[in-house]
Structure 1
Amino acid sequence: KHRPDILFTSDDLEQGYGIDLVKEAKLVSTEIKALIFLRRETKEVVDEALDAGADGVMFVSSVGSGNGDFIQSLLTTLKGGIYYPADVRDLARDNKQLNDAPVIDYQLTERELEVLNAIVGGLSNKGISESLFVSTETVKSHVSTIISKLGVRDRTQAAVFAIRHRIVG
């Protein structure tokens, strides 16, 4: 009803399931930034959170440890980036599927791979433009091309796809 800018939730709510809340919020407003804190550190739960479209995923156990910083996740997502720390990315990689799947060449240029790696690293378009010394319009063009080549809906899905298929680190 109020279209908030950001949603904070955990997977373990008093009433309902936080990942379902993220899905519903994203259906109502694609612009909402969703941060989810997971109590259960399993591949299945991480996959659910990523599939729901969470822009930031952290484990509750990592909050305050330096491995998953709440403030960093908040700042990153509010600037338009995504926040998937290394421990989340590691669980999201699908080793079995990769071993069974044929190698697919997505025909990304070297620059597009740099942009995709920056997206996975949580950088916003502005952050990418500053780190690669190009205009934000050029970054937007690269992001659009990446999304098209990977056949995904948005930059969050592009990051999830890249992590799962080990396109970038």
Structure 2
Amino acid sequence: MSAPVRVLVCDDQALIRTGFATIIDAQPDLEVVGECGDGRTAVGLARSLSPDMVVMDVRMPVLDGIEATRLLAGPGVGDPVKVLVVTTFNLDEYVYEALRAGASGFLLKDAPPAQLLHGIRTVAGGAALLAPEVTRQLVGRYAARIRPAPGTADDVALAPRELEVLNLIANGLSNNEIAATLVLSPETVKTYVSRILTKLGLRDRVQAVVYAYRNGLVT
């Protein structure tokens, strides 16, 4: 058997932190290696314990989750740590900044345990995860702030079909949902997603979502 995924849990509310740790530790393929209640401690523990990923709250004392994420997974970090942000949200103004800071996933605290565990496994496996309600609400509430003024978008060297796929990613659709929408096979969609990330120099689907919003490519 492969070694369990090593998880660091960071949340300033002890009850929530303990609840997350209990749920995670009950899984044979997951292991909680540390807990803390602020972003500064999370950064220190991540560097000393070398977890596979961090489950990170946003609003915390000393150093918030956004800055902690930037220090652990942001641009220029030599050995980035995967971060799954789990927070009270609806709609938290910090979501977009957390994604820009390098988070590989974003879930709401009211998500069922199975969704939390799925998110941890997804992010730890190198993929990205965004709760669909996160991406859908980003358009409605933050489109004006996220989109640049006309004529300022980056040049996009994507084919029409790639732009279609990127738009659907930004609207929160999974590969299977994109395949059904465009009448393509999931394997073909996976190829398109990989090609889009490569062309744009992006790390994962989360960065693709941010890119699409920043450049006014979401319809």
Q: 1:14 to 1:99 in 2, by over 3 A?
A: closer
- C-alpha displacement at 1:113, in angstroms? 3.4
Is 2:96 the partner of 1:96? Answer: no
Separation in 2 of the partners of 1:92 and 1:135? 24
Is 2:198 the partner of 1:144? Answer: yes
1:126 is matched with none
1:132 is matched with 187
Q: 1:75 to 1:121 in 2, by over 3 A?
A: farther
Contact 1:19–1:48 under 8 Å retained in 2: yes
Question: How many residue pairs end up in the alignment?
Answer: 155
- C-alpha displacement at 1:41, in angstroms? 3.3
1:16-95 matches, within 5 Å, as 16-26=63-73, 27=77, 29-30=79-80, 32-60=81-109, 62-64=110-112, 69-93=115-139, 94-95=142-143
- C-alpha displacement at 1:86, in angstroms? 2.1
Contact 2:148–2:216 under 8 Å retained in 1: no
TM-score by length of 1: 0.67
Contact 2:169–2:209 under 8 Å retained in 1: no
Amino acid at match of 2:130: Y
What residue ranges of structure 2 are gaps of 5+ in the alignment?
1-46, 176-184
Separation in 2 of the partners of 1:76 and 1:141? 20
- C-alpha displacement at 1:56, in angstroms? 0.8
TM-score by length of 2: 0.54
Contact 1:35–1:56 under 8 Å retained in 2: yes
Per-residue CA deviations over 1:63-108 (Å, capped at 9, x if unaligned) read 2188xx2122123212322111122113333332478732657342
Contact 2:82–2:103 under 8 Å retained in 1: yes
What residue ranges of structure 1 are gaps of 5+ in the alignment?
124-129
